[in-house]
Amino acid sequence: MPIHLRAEQGDYADAVLLPGDPLRAKYIADTYLDDVKQVNSERGLLGFTGTWEGKPVSVQGTGMGCPGATIVFEELIQLGCTKLMRVGTCGGLQSHHALGDLIVALTAVPADQTAMHLVGGEPHCPTASWELIHGAVHAAKEIGQPMHVGPIVSSDLFYNPNEGQYERWSQRGVLAVEMEAAALFTVTAIGGIGKTGGVHGGCLLTVSDIIVEGVFTRITDEELRAAVDRMTRVALATVTHD
C-alpha cells in the first residue's frame, strides 16, 4: 500500500482523471460516475472510483504544484493505473483565447525543477502521450467543443513577481501556464521509478484566467463550472475509448 494513496491494487481503475482540487475530484465523481466509492482520503487527497457509460474510471485530486502532484502520479502507477489525464485550469497566454476555452497540451515547458530532477538535469521536453492527445482532439470535435492544441508551461510559481515572464512565454507561442503537467508527462514517459511500460499521460485545461498584455482577467464561478463540465466530458470520452 502506498504512503499517500492508502489503497490496494484494484481500488483504482486503469484510467484516472486528475484535477488539482480534491473537491473538484468529488464533484466529478458525484456528477459523472455511477457506483462511486471513495478509495482515498489520506492528507485530503480525495480519490474515487466508479463507472462512466459502463467503463471503470477513477478521479484523484493531486493538490497544487509538481512536487506534491508527482507523489500522486507515482503512487497511481504503483497501483496499476496506466492512463493519467490531468483536468485542470490555466492562465491563457494568447490574445485570441477566451475564458472557458479548452486547451489540449502537447508539451509542457518545465519551468519547475521537479521534471528536471526526474531526468537528472539533462535537457528534456516533457511531452504528452499521442494516444491521449489524438483521442482528446477527436472527442472534443464530436461534441462540438472548440479547442487550442499546443505547448503549455508548468511553473513553480502562481504569484510570479517577474512581470515580463508571461509576455515572453506568449511571444514564444506558449498557450497557457499551469503547475503540474510537466511532471505528469515526465513521470508517465519514464514509467515512474519502477520504469513501468505502457503508461500514458495527458492534460486538458480550461482557461480560467487570461494573462495578456499586462491585464489579468478571471472567469466567473458559473462560467468555470460549465467549462469544467465540458472538459470533463471530453476527458472521460478520451480515457475510456478502446
Catalytic residue among 34, 209, 221, 229: 209
d(CA 27, CA 225): 10
Q: Is 209 a catalytic residue?
A: yes
Question: At a CB cut-off of 8 Å and minimum separation 6, what does 149 contact?
Answer: 103, 104, 106, 133, 137
Q: Are 181 and 204 in contact (CB under 8 A)?
A: no
CA angle 212, 214, 220 (to 5 degrees): 65
CA 56 to chain centre: 19
Q: Which amino acid is at 165?
A: Q
Q: Which amino acid is at 41?
A: S
Burial classification of residue 6, based on how many CB atoms lie within 10 Å of its CB (0-12 exposed, 13-18 middle, 19 or more buried): middle
- Active site residues per annotation: 209
